[in-house]
Amino acid sequence: MLHTPETLPEAELIRLRAAQGEGQHETVAREAADLLARWGDHRDLLLIHATSLRFLGRFDEALAQLDRLAVDHPHFSLMHQERGLCHIARRDAPAAIEALLTAVGINPALPHSWKMLSGVYRLTGDMESALKAEAHVHTLRALPPVVVEATALFADGDLSQAEALTRRFLLTHGDHPEAMRLLAKIGVAHDVLDDAEVLYAGVLTLAPDHRAARQEYVETLIARHKYPEAREALAPLRGGDEDLQRLDATIAVGLGHHEEAIALYHAMLARLPAEPGDNTALRGQLADLHLWLGHALKTLGRVPEAIAAYTHAAALRPEFGDAWWSLANLKTYRFTPEAVETMRKAEEAPGTIAIDRVHLNFALGKALEDAGDAASSWHHYARGNALQREASQYRPEILETNTRLQKQVCTSAFFTAREGWGAAAPDPIFVLGLPRSGSTLIEQILASHPEIEGTQELPDIQRIVLELQGREHDIDAPAYPGSLADLTPLQCRALGERYLAETQAQRSLGRPFFIDKMPNNFRHIGLIHLILPNAKIIDTRRDPMSCCFSNLKQLFAQGQEFTYSIEDIARYYRTYLELMRHWDEALPGRVLRVLHEDVIEDLETQVRRLLDHCGLPFDEACLNFHQNRRAVRTPSSEQVRRPIFRDGMDQWRAFEPFLDDLKTHLGSALTDWR
The domain that contains 451 carries what CATH number?
Answer: 3.40.50.300
Task: Give DSSP secondary structure letters for 59-96.
Answer: HHHHHHHHHHHHHH-TT-HHHHHHHHHHHHHTT-HHHH
Domain presence at residue 445: yes
pLDDT in tens, 155-168: 888 899 999 999 99
Q: What share of the chain in percent tops pLDDT 70? A: 95
pLDDT in tens, 325-337: 999 999 899 999 9
Kindly tell me if the per-residue pLDDT of 523 is higher than 70. yes
Q: Please report the pLDDT score of residue 2 as a whole number.
A: 37
How many domains are contained in the chain? 3
Say yes or no to pLDDT of 1 above 50: no
| Within a domain: 466 | yes
Residue 38: band (very low, low, confident or very high) from pLDDT cuts 50, 70, 90 = confident
Residues 449 and 352 in one domain: no
- Domain coverage including residue 428: 396-670
Is residue 539 domain-shared with residue 660, that is, in the same domain? yes
For residue 239, what pLDDT is reported? 62
Q: What is the pLDDT of residue 642?
A: 60
What is the pLDDT averaged over residues 285-313? 95
342 vs 364: CA distance, rounded Å: 10
- What are the residues whose beta carbons fall under 8 Å from the beta carbon of 275, sequence distance 6 or more? none
What is the C-alpha separation between 555 and 362, in angstroms, rounded?
A: 7
Using CA atoms, how far residue 600 sits from 443, 597, 646, in Å, is: 15, 5, 7
Q: What is the pLDDT of residue 281?
A: 86
Is the pLDDT at 492 greater than 80, yes or no?
A: yes
Comparing C-alpha atoms, which of 509, 508, 504, 498 is closest to residue 532? Answer: 498
Nearest to 363 by CA among 61, 644, 635, 637: 635
User: How far apart are the C-alpha atoms of 48 and 518, rounded to whole Å?
Assistant: 51
User: Could you tell me if 428 and 387 lie in one domain?
Assistant: no
Report pLDDT for 157: 86
Confidence (pLDDT) at 117: 94
Helix (H, G, I), strand (E, B) or coil at 559: coil
pLDDT category at 643 given cuts 50, 70, 90 is low
Lowest mean pLDDT among 122-126, 450-454, 505-509: 505-509
The CA angle 140-141-146, to the nearest 5 degrees, is 75
- How does the average pLDDT of the chain come out, rounded? 91
Rounded mean pLDDT, 163-190: 93
* Pair 377, 401 in one domain: no
Domain match, 357 and 496 both = no
Task: Using the predicted structure, report yes or no on whether residue 506 has a pLDDT greater than 90.
Answer: no
pLDDT higher than 70, residue 362: yes
Q: What is the pLDDT of residue 5?
A: 43
Do residues 387 and 400 both lie within one domain?
A: no
The band of 3, judged by pLDDT with boundaries at 50, 70 and 90, is very low
Peptide bond between residue 481 and the one before it cis (omega within 30 degrees of 0) = yes
Q: Please answer whether residues 659 and 545 qualify as being in contact, where contact means their C-beta atoms are separated by less than 8 angstroms.
A: yes
| Domain end marker among 366, 391, 416 | 391
Query: In this structure, what is the dihedral angle of CA atoms 502, 503, 504, 509, given to the nearest 10 degrees?
Result: 170
Residues 594 and 545 in one domain: yes
pLDDT digits (tens, 9 = 90+) for 221-262: 999 888 999 999 999 986 667 888 899 999 999 888 999 999
Q: Do residues 589 and 514 both lie within one domain?
A: yes
| The predicted structure's pLDDT at residue 466 | 87
- Do 163 and 47 belong together in one domain? yes
User: Of 139, 174, 209, which one is at a domain's C-terminal end?
Assistant: 174
Span 205-220, pLDDT tens digits: 999 999 999 999 999 9
Residue 360 is assigned to a structural domain of this protein: yes
Q: Write down the pTM of the prediction.
A: 0.81
Name residue 537's beta-bridge partners: 430, 591
Q: Of 138, 155, 174, which residue sits at a domain end?
A: 174
pLDDT at 472 over 80: no
The answer to whether residue 602 is domain-embedded is yes
pLDDT of 4 reads 40
Residues 442-462 pLDDT 10s: 999 999 999 999 988 898 999
Q: What are the CA-CA distances from residue 400 to residues 407, 571, 573, 655 (Å)?
A: 11, 9, 11, 29
Which range among 26-30, 75-79, 391-395, 484-488 has the greatest average pLDDT?
Answer: 484-488
Higher pLDDT, 674 or 2: 674
How confident is the model over 96-114, as pLDDT tens digits?
999 999 999 988 888 999 9
Element (H, E) at 593: strand 591-595
Give a yes or no: residue 465 inside a domain: yes
Is the pLDDT assigned to residue 340 strictly greater than 90? yes
Same domain, 620 and 587: yes
